[in-house]
Structure formats: structure tokens, C-alpha cells
Amino acid sequence: MNSQDEKNLKKRYFVWLYKAAKETFDKYERKFTQVDIDKDILLEMEKELLGVYLPHEKEALQRQVDDFQQYIENKEKSCAEFRDQDKKINPDFIFSEIKLDAIEKVITKEIGKKGLEEIKSLYEKEMLQRIIKSTESH
């Protein structure tokens, strides 16, 4: 095996390692990110409802907004319970963050910052493609 073949093999392994670790970390992290985004969406919806619609329309819409508010509160409670299991930070969450950080450091050491950025970009493209494909079928 020549040195280029070895580099390619390492790079493929780094892509796999990064993808696996990032998916695990994202599984935890997205819960918290989604709550923040949902709250922003709720604020925008509430602004829209302030006087634009007729009373009978506003009442029906307000019920749906209230349901969304409850959904956000439930998600936020679930996040807090997940993160603060028995008043301790969830060790799985901490480990996934530490592992991802370690993988990024080793990738940078082995193939440089540019290599890490390329792997991150590949991951992001794949995740976006998955989302697009999954929403096309609905």
C-alpha cells in the first residue's frame, strides 16, 4: 500500500468516526436547540395573531398556538430531565461531547484543519440531504 492509499484509508475512517460521533452528539444537542427555535417561532406567531384576524378566526388560531406552546413546554421539560438526571449532568451527553472533541483534535493532527472542515462539510451535506429526502415522502 502506498502512502496515498494509506492517507485515503485514514481519511475514510475519520469520516466514519466523525459521522458516528457527531450523530450521537447531535441526538442530544438538537433537543436543546429545537426548544430555542420553537420559542422564536411561537413569538412570531403570537405577534401575527395580535390583531390581524377576526375574533372567531383568532380564537381557533389561538387554540393551535396554545397547543404549540404546550408542545414547547413539554419538550423543554424533557430536555431538562434528560440533562439533569438525578441532579447530575447525563454522563452519556458529556461522553458524546468529549469523544467528538477528541476525534476532531486527532483529525486535525493527522490531516489538518482543512481536512476537518472538509469532513464537517460532508457531514452537514449528508444531514441536509436526509432531511430533504425524509420530508419529500410526507
Domain count of the chain?
1
28-32, 106-110, 128-132: the lowest-pLDDT one: 28-32
- Taking the complete model, does pTM exceed 0.85, yes or no? no
Average pLDDT, the chain: 88
Q: Provide CB contacts within 8 A for 22, sequence distance 6+.
A: 100, 123
**Domain of residue 59, residue span:** 3-136
**C-beta contacts of 9-13 below 8 A and 24+ residues apart:** 10/110, 10/111, 11/111, 11/115, 11/119
Instruction: Please state at what angle helix 55-83 crosses helix 3-49, rounded to 10 degrees.
Output: 140
Whether the pLDDT of residue 101 is over 80: the answer is yes
Question: What's the confidence (pLDDT) of residue 87?
Answer: 63
Query: In this predicted model, what pLDDT tens digit does every residue of 31-53 receive, in sequence order?
Result: 888 999 999 999 998 888 776 67
CB 25 within 8 A of CB 96: yes
Query: In this predicted model, what pLDDT tens digit does every residue of 58-97 receive, in sequence order?
Result: 788 888 889 999 999 998 888 777 766 666 677 888 899 9
